[in-house]
Structure 1
Amino acid sequence: MGLAPIADEFEREVTASPQQFERELRKAWPAGVETLAPGRFRVREGQTQLDIETESRGMRRLGLLELPVVVVRYRFAGGDPATRRALLAALDRAMQRGGG
């Protein structure tokens, strides 16, 4: 049984400011992140291209804690499922924060 395919387009909600997201994105992909416009980025791996668009959604309050929220839209072009999965895994690792 194989892994489920990764959709060409999807979005996620991330607890980070747009600036934090960009900083972590650049750490996750040291090979180079192309800035297309404010809040819009592109990363490439071989024939795989991933366009990323961020949109701030303000703050989320959890009791006394406030966390910034950004919606991130991912759009793949080209590439095979393994390369897409590896790109997302690198991004997910970079976006992880400590906690319990």
Structure 2
Amino acid sequence: MQSHYPECFEREMGCTEAEWLGWLPGAVAQAALRLQPGRAQVALGAGCLHLRWQPLPPRRIALVQLPRLFVSFRFEGVGPAQRQAFMRHFDLYMQRGGG
């Protein structure tokens, strides 16, 4: 989780596209979600979040192979406080632990 989320940023997620699509509805909570191949739009009050993603080749570390997904976030008409609140929930929901 970050202390500031700009209007546009990119991330590399450690998941497959199928996992991402399974987690995305919960990560956006009650916000309206419109899915299309490789992209989505999330309604946030008067504004919205545009998401685009693309699978990347897996990261290999010795015999371990980790999936990767490149994700682009673009907020439109969403102020800093609302971005922070939305991304706090989004990041906590998407966080995966091991142990």
What is the TM-score when the length of structure 2 is the normalising length? Answer: 0.86
Q: CA deviation at 1:75?
A: 0.5
Distance 1:28 1:63 in 2: 32
Question: 1:48 is matched with which residue?
Answer: 47
CA distance in 2, matches of 1:30, 1:89: 11
TM-aligned CA deviation for residue 99 of structure 1 = 2.5
Q: 1 CA distance for matches of 2:41 and 2:89?
A: 14
User: How big is the alpha-carbon RMSD for the aligned residues of Structure 1 and Structure 2?
Assistant: 1.5
Corresponding letter in the other structure for 1:15: G
1:10 counterpart = 2:13: no
Which aligned pairs between 1:18-97 and structure 2 lie closer than 5 A? 18-31=17-30, 32-35=32-35, 37-97=36-96
- List gaps (5 residues or longer) in structure 2: none
Residue in 2 aligned with 1:99?
Answer: 98
Q: What secondary structure does 2:93 align onto?
A: helix
Cα distance, 1:38 vs structure 2: 0.4
Aligned length: 96
Identity %: 33
Distance in 2, Cα, partners of 1:44 & 1:90: 15
- Equivalents in 1 of 2:7, 2:29: separation in Å? 23
- Taking structure 1 as the reference length, the TM-score comes to 0.85
Q: Which runs of 5+ in 1 are unaligned?
A: none
> Which structure 1 residue ranges, 4+ long, deviate > 3 Å from structure 2?
none
